[in-house]
Structure 1
Amino acid sequence: MTDFAERRRMMVDTQVRPSDVTKYPIIEALLAVPREEFVPDAQREGAYADRNMDLGGNRTLIEARTLAKMLDALDIQSDELVLDVGCGLGYSTAVAARLAVMVIGVEEDETMSVDAQSQLSEVGADNAIVHVGPLTDGAAEHGPYDVILVQGGVEELPDSLLAQLKDGGRIAVIFMTGALGEVKIGYKRGEQISWRFAFNAGAAVLPGFARKPEFAL
């Protein structure tokens, strides 16, 4: 029988801590949330591998190192409201829910969203819900948000998401240029977003976040 709790500890000790993520709330959340419960059954054995996992439907379970470093850079506080875009089967939402007062996951795949909400309930994430709708639309009716996380690659970020960020809020995005990606943290001041490079990482580009082709006459 697989000892997933031991694999969770190994994930934190070999993937997360060596990446200079040491904040106790993040470590505790990663140790507490059973990652294997948020992947397709056929992929449970690979849930703790040091790589992005394809969940199907153009959704990615981002490697633990990348998610942890994003959370570290965002420094989510216990009284903050979080929007988790492209939450897939809900793992990132469950982890963020242990840091924030409330997390709204956004998923446009209806089957995936039902599974995510069910699993969030199973692990006791009562302060997390899954909103069904286009990823690029976010969930404005529940906002504005202190923090926005985007769970996948982005070539172009829609203004509709940035509009849902509070003044003083932060957003973490994996900006992809071809096969290369950079995680940047955006800080909103008034109507302006200032971006700071955080670290290199990559992920498949989410539906709706690809760069639109330019037509020239």
Structure 2
Amino acid sequence: MNFEQARFNMIEQQIRPWDVLDSSVLELLSLVRREDFVPAALRQLAFVDTELPLSGERKALAPRVEARMLQALKVLRHEKVLEIGTGMGYLTALLSHKAQHVHSVEADAELAAHARESLRRSGCVNVTIHQGPAQDGVMAEAPFDAVLLCGSVAEVPQALLDQVKVGGRLLAVVGEEPAMQLQLRRRTATGWTTEVLLETVVARLPGLQEPATFTF
């Protein structure tokens, strides 16, 4: 398989049409080798426009969703980022090229180990992988300039909102199928603002408590 051609096709046919036009993001997508993070059995599918199965209920985000998230978060070089749901570590690597440091939380021990090794091989030295519950974040390292949830949630846990610094932001896909929204929330001195960027549907981020439902 010609990975370079597949990478080019991914960028031009999937990602640009999804309004990802930031030149720094497109350059990173050309630089960071997605196939080096995908599990070996799925390597030939590294550039397919779909979510990839990882472990149990976990799925890797589709490439166009990862790219749109990276563009929307607008991470700066001096910033500290919290990523919830490391998965295979590819989006973690992209963030590491933008941020001062990335703290990434992964509940699944095998995925955390896979991501650590992939990131090590790729030379990403400004990343710390924390293996533990997603909803806890990394309070010891808070506050963060930016927080990214790599999977959908019914509601953003308050514990994660509390770890965003004033002036910082949190990006997450929020809602229930088939009506989910990619939301960018900004913390101000008096509360929060919410900007809806687009409607999409992505797999749930396991380990986060679902809201109670009522049956009659």
State if a TM-score over 0.5 links the two structures: yes
C-alpha separation in 2, matches of 1:204 and 1:191: 32
> Which portions of structure 1, spanning 4 or more consecutive aligned residues, are displaced by more than 4 angstroms?
none
- Structure 1 counterpart of 2:138, which letter? A
C-alpha separation in 2, matches of 1:30 and 1:130: 22
- Structure 1 counterpart of 2:143, which letter? P
Say yes or no: does 1:34 pair with 2:33.
yes
C-alpha separation in 2, matches of 1:126 and 1:186: 28
Three-state SS of the structure 2 residue aligned to 1:98 is helix
CA contact (8 A) 1:145 1:166 kept: yes
Say yes or no: does 1:70 pair with 2:58.
no
Say yes or no: does 1:118 pair with 2:117.
yes
C-alpha separation in 2, matches of 1:209 and 1:17: 32
Q: Give 1:178 shift.
A: 2.4
Structure 1: stretches of 5+ with no match in the other structure: none
* Distance verdict in 2 for CA 1:209–1:156, change over 3 Å: farther
Three-state SS of the structure 1 residue aligned to 2:98 is coil
- Structure 1 counterpart of 2:117, which letter? S
How high is the sequence identity, in percent, across the aligned residues?
Answer: 33
Residues 144-153 or 183-192, more deviating = 183-192
RMSD of aligned Cα (Å): 1.6
C-alpha separation in 1, matches of 2:41 and 2:175: 29
C-alpha separation in 2, matches of 1:214 and 1:191: 31
C-alpha separation in 1, matches of 2:189 and 2:106: 28
CA contact (8 A) 2:55 2:111 kept: no
Say yes or no: does 1:154 pair with 2:153.
yes
| Aligned counterparts, 1:89-100, within 5 A | 89-100=88-99
C-alpha separation in 2, matches of 1:145 and 1:60: 25
CA contact (8 A) 1:176 1:205 kept: no
1:26-50 residue CA offsets vs partner (Å, 9 max, x unmatched)? 1121111111122221111111011
The number of equivalent residue pairs is: 216
Q: Give 1:197 shift.
A: 0.4
